A and B are shown apart, each in its own frame.
Chain A
Amino acid sequence: MALYLHGYDNVAMYDGSWTEWQQDATTPKDDVATMLARSPGQPQ
């Protein structure tokens, strides 16, 4: 949501991510460590 609030226009929200993605064993997932390694330098 913050991306919208910051005024970005090209954002699509996936509002099923909390359950739908999790419940489907076939959806490709990364674990947290992989995600964090990909995401350095976040704003603090």
Chain B
Amino acid sequence: MPRRPDRQIFVSVDWLAAHVHDANLRIMDARFVPPTAAHPRGDALYAAGHIPGAIFVHWRQDLSTNTPPVPNRLLDAEAFAAKIGQFGVDAETTVVVYDPGDENWAARLWWALKYYGHDQVYVLQGGAAAWQEAGHPWTTAVVQPPRTTFVARPRPAMRATKAQVLNAIHDPATTIIETRRQHTIVEAGGTVQGAFWLPSTTVYASQGAYRDLIAEAELDRYLQEIGADRAAHLVAT
């Protein structure tokens, strides 16, 4: 399984605290969470307090399609670029994304920006929970970033279409990974034929108020067991 030797996906809360006022830094609060009695909406969380300088980015309202038949997919390149430009991100901007600390939605924004060709994007390790636990500043002040121009340069290898997944089912060089929870798969009427299960509940480990990834060796062992280490490509659902 190829890992980038120079990869850096996360930044620490201490790193961000030291760089929070950098001119070319844009912090995105991605606390998109379905509201429940126990959890308010992400925008309410943002209004109540956030990392200084952060803007709120709502995955569904800002960056995904909300039209049938397939809502919640990433915007097309033109619309995505327009929105990211509104957020004050251009090619020179370093972006740090955070969520409550489970890294789900921060990772999705990370993927979206990477997919559209932006390399200077990182996930805040431990998210808002780790930031607050460390005692770093918290504010209700809202910033309005200056609009700029973002040019989207899609990386097709990072995204699979339905047609590609259909081909992948019979492609011995591709392993399909199902990441949804069991009850969701049942509700959806099944998973992609031939998929292996690797739900998010097994690849994260609790670190108190937030989650962290399990050890690389542990994930590698599982991927070896299902033969994914020999696959040229992985498709994640």
Q: Which of B1-40 contact A (CB under 8 A)?
A: 1-4, 7, 9-10
Query: Taking the nearest CB of chain B, how far is it from the CB of A7, in angstroms?
Result: 4
Q: Is the CB of B222 within 8 A of A29?
A: no
Q: Which of A2-44 contact B (CB under 8 A)?
A: 2-24, 27-32, 35-36, 38-44
Interface residues on B, range: 35 or more
A8, A13, A28, A41: the one contacting B222 at CB < 8 Å is A41
Task: Determine the chain A residues whose CB is within 8 A of the CB of B4 once the complex forms.
Answer: 7, 9
**Interface residue B104 (Cβ < 8 Å from any Cβ of A):** yes
Contacts A6-B203, A12-B233 known; list 20 others, CB within 8 Å. Answer: A2-B179, A2-B200, A4-B114, A5-B103, A7-B9, A10-B232, A13-B236, A17-B165, A19-B72, A21-B162, A22-B190, A28-B193, A29-B190, A29-B191, A30-B192, A30-B195, A38-B226, A39-B226, A40-B225, A43-B203
**Interface residue B158 (Cβ < 8 Å from any Cβ of A):** yes
